[in-house]
């Protein structure tokens, strides 16, 4: 998993160098509505996410959108906080509307598990939509876990995110 993560970072670096004329960089934050799906019966958790976002143009209507986010996830009474790195392909249309999808890699940085320990690495898929008005943007996204939160237990992250942000340049 770590090799895949480093390969993705290298590809982002290559894309950055080859498309330096169409780069945006900004900050974003918002609210999370998360739960652990599977063999669990937990109430959802309302948390937050905050971080940085980039947008690297690769064609007229397509971009790669890497992000680094601190994200408070988990479920009620089972908090798990991650540093997530989504790497999304963004399709833009109508000049202000876009769809985005791609993988998300997460590393646990804080948890309050009373029984057992969560896996230290999480892989999710992400799908969403966004709008841009000048340097401001808003996004809605659903992240669905592909790996178990706890080893040998059917327990995957599910997080709906609403975000607002600002492109600094």
- With a cut of 50, say whether residue 16 has pLDDT above it: no
Structural domain containing residue 110: 2-167
* pLDDT (average), residues 143-167: 95
Which residue, among 114, 99, 113, 115, has the nearest Cα to 65 in the 3D structure?
Answer: 99
Write down the pTM of the prediction: 0.84
Is residue 10 classed exposed, middle or buried when 0-12, 13-18 and 19+ CB atoms within 10 A define those classes? exposed
* CA 7 to the chain's CA centroid: 17
CATH number at residue 82: 2.40.160.20
Please report the pLDDT score of residue 132 as a whole number: 96
Average pLDDT over all residues of the chain: 89
50-97 pLDDT tens trace: 999 999 999 989 999 999 999 999 998 889 999 999 999 999 998 899
Contact 87, 69 (CB under 8 A): no
Cα dist. 129→19, 29, 31, 92 in Å? 23, 15, 15, 10
Q: How many domains does the chain have?
A: 1
Please report the pLDDT score of residue 13 as a whole number: 57
Instruction: Give one DSSP letter per residue of 86-138, joined into a string.
Output: EEEEEEEETTTEEEEEEEEEEEEEEE--SSS---SEEEEEEEEEEEEETTEEE
């Amino acid at each position: 998993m770590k090799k895949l993560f480093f390969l993705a970072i290298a590809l982002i670096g290559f894309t950055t160098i080859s498309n330096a004329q169409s780069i945006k960089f900004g900050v974003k934050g918002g609210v999370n509505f998360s739960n652990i799906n599977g063999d669990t019966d937990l109430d959802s958790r309302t948390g937050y996410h905050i971080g940085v976002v980039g947008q690297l143009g690769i064609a007229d209507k397509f971009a790669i959108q890497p992000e680094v986010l601190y994200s408070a996830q988990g479920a009620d009474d089972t908090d798990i906080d991650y540093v997530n790195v989504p790497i999304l392909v963004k399709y833009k249309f109508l000049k202000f509307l876009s769809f985005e999808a791609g993988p998300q890699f997460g590393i646990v940085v804080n948890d309050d598990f009373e029984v057992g320990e969560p896996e230290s690495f999480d892989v999710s898929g992400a799908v969403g939509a966004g709008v841009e008005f000048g340097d401001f943007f808003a996004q809605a996204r659903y992240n669905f876990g592909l790996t178990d939160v706890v080893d040998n237990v059917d327990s995957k992250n599910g997080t709906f995110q609403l975000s607002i942000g600002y492109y600094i340049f």
